[in-house]
Amino acid sequence: MLEPQRMDRVLIVGTKDVMETTINALHDMDILHIEDYTAEGEYFKIGKPLKNATSLSEKLLKLRSIRSYLGTRNDVQFKEKREKLARELDQELATLEATLTSKMNEKSAVEAGIKEASHREEALKPYEVLGLPLDLLYGYESVNVFVGTVQKDVEPVVKAITEDYGLFSAPYGKDLIVAIFVPRDVSSKVYEALLKNDFIEIEPLRETGDPSALAKALENRKAELAARLQSINNDIQELNKRYARFILASEEILTIDTQKAEAPLKFATSENAFVIDGWVPRNEYEKFKEGLLKATDEKVYVTTVEPEHKPYPREMEEQEAVHHEIDAPVKYANPRWMYSLQAFIDLYARPRYDEIDPTAVFFFMFPLFYGFILGDIGYGLLLLILGFAVKRMLKHSEGFQILTTALIICSISSIFFGFIFGEFLGFSMAKPVEDGGGFLGVSLAEFYPRGVHIGPIGPFSLPLERLFPGGFEHGSYVFGIKDLLVFCCLIGIAQIILGYAFGFTNELKQHGLKTAILHKGSWVLILLGGVAMLWYVFPLMISQQIGALNPANPLFLAGAVMFVGGLALLLMGEGVLGIIEIPTLMSNVLSYTRLLAVGMSSVGIAFAVNTMASMMAGGGIIGLIGAVVVFALGHTINLVLGIIAPGLHALRLHYVEFFTKFYKGGGKIYNPFGFIRKYTED
């Protein structure tokens, strides 16, 4: 699980008369990851697609365009016979295209009509306010008419130029709409004067009749067009329902046939032969070879070849290429039940072929971090129900299936930590009801052990109360906030050391033992040495007894030796820049305290909501209703925050604090030549 599947590089050689048979067999097996042939030589060229490739591509493009117009969704389940579908495809596709084109053209015309009517409606609005018949506003030989808006009365302006005029005006929003009739010989002067008084001419309408009547007619026209548009949309939806199965199934077989037809573009071909270069998972090679030979009547030659080795960048710098990497595609080797959280590794980057795959660690640690932050029985149960409900509703969405599965796993972890913390929607279930614990008179106090001893920490009592500082209670130690704070730091130290251990393994494989010690072992020594010294010094500082520090103390001495040794190795490996990075190591460890900090904020909100609801519940029937509203609303908001915040912070601790110690990613994704059929069968 900690490394990707081992791959064999495979070479397939055959004559062109069996190339199509070979392509069909390879596609059906869905195992071979084909490497593109790019280096053309004297004898071998990049292959040409099969004869039907262009036709298939055109049909596929046309079908996908139709699907996009219709909005066909892939949330249906069915199986069509490939032979029958292939026989009817051309005719059905032509019929569908013609029908849809007709509907789309009609729809475009109707939409253009609605747009034009809306434009005319807007243009008519000022004329409606003015109230003059439109045919009075144009068509004169000796009179010019100006229609527009002004911010104030302009009659004095016009009157100053000529006494022979007609002016009609009406309020129009914050302005005035005016129509001014003036003799043609003074119209230019009047126009200039109007412009100086903020006159804005409106769009002239060369129509006849009353503007209000025209607006009413336009309104009726728009209603007719809207009804027609709705009818066309209904027809298109019906078309989508009727042809959905045909579209999905046809797209599938056209995609498959196009993949096959274009496959030779990845091959090296000569006049009579072809060569296919690719990768097959090592544990499937024999099955692959047997299947291919059987499908081609043993007319192709299949063999494994030594993969090309490339020196690592650091090796190239040193001009001593001792260690080499293999540029093989990466296929995870994780069990199926890890697939849901494996997607989060791909979200960061697919591991390289020669580095450790962190999926297994992530699969266990991410839910634990999530549950530690949101450790509450009630919230965990609600998330569990929500996860199953969404998973059932969106069962055809692959993305939601991954997310809901992750949510279900995390909710179980929340319930687990909820029992440890003794929390149910912010109520303490570990305390007896008479001591203020429990929820609705129910307490789980009798199920919690008391006086449990764990390691060197000392005696303490479960549950781990996060709201209290910790200390002795009723003769036993209650694990509290400050203890959890130290616990979070210890988790961080453990995970960071694990990261360096993975990094040591990667460096050992890629660059040798010396580099592994200098670049990763040095950091482990610095971290362990620093922790050992701090473990001894910190209690002295807290108790103000730093003067009693004994350098010969075994713990302090061992820590100092490791720290200095680590510094020396780091200086040799990474130089001064490595020393500068040491404070980052401390910030990485302290970053794990967010596990407690974010969890405390959630507990605090729940506690506040419960307190407010309890106070309101004593205020009669209205108070009781208010308490229910506050309780439901407050916990809903806290639950939404509880979905987002723990996930993001748990993810950040892995991506930033953990992965950076060993993980580079950027591997080539294993993409076998084939197709997983969903809607068709032979």
**CATH 3.30.70.2750 residue spans of the chain:** 117-217
Question: How many percent of the chain have pLDDT more than 90?
Answer: 53
CATH topology of domain 117-217: Alpha-Beta Plaits (3.30.70)
Task: State the pLDDT confidence band at 313, using cuts at 50, 70 and 90.
Answer: low
Highest mean pLDDT of the ranges 65-79, 400-414, 427-441: 400-414
Alpha-carbon distance 522 to 529, whole Å? 10
H or E element in which residue 144 lies = strand 143-150
SS (H, E, C) 74-140: CCCCCCEEHHHHHHHHHHHHHHHHHHHHHHHHHHHHHHHHHHHHHHHHHHHHHHHHHCCCHHHHCCC
What does the DSSP 8-state code read for residue 455? G
Say whether pLDDT at 670 is over 90.
Answer: yes
pLDDT tens-place string over residues 254-308: 999 999 999 999 999 988 899 999 999 999 999 999 999 999 988 999 999 887 7
pLDDT tens-place string over residues 41-75: 778 888 888 888 899 999 999 999 999 989 888 87
Q: Of 35-39, 92-96, 158-162, 458-462, which gets the smallest average pLDDT?
A: 458-462
Angle of CA points 654, 659, 664, to nearest 5°: 145
Pairing of strands 175-183, 166-172: antiparallel
What is the model's pTM? 0.75
User: What per-residue confidence (pLDDT) applies to 76?
Assistant: 79
H or E element in which residue 177 lies = strand 175-183
Of the candidates 333, 580, 56, 506, which has an alpha carbon nearest to the alpha carbon of residue 345? 333
pLDDT tens-place string over residues 192-248: 999 999 999 998 888 888 999 999 999 999 999 999 999 999 999 999 999 999 999
User: Taking a C-beta distance cutoff of 8 angstroms, is the pair 187, 144 a contact?
Assistant: yes
Comparing 202 with 482, the larger pLDDT belongs to 202
Three-state DSSP state, 279: strand
Average pLDDT, the chain: 87
Alpha-carbon distance 358 to 3, whole Å? 8
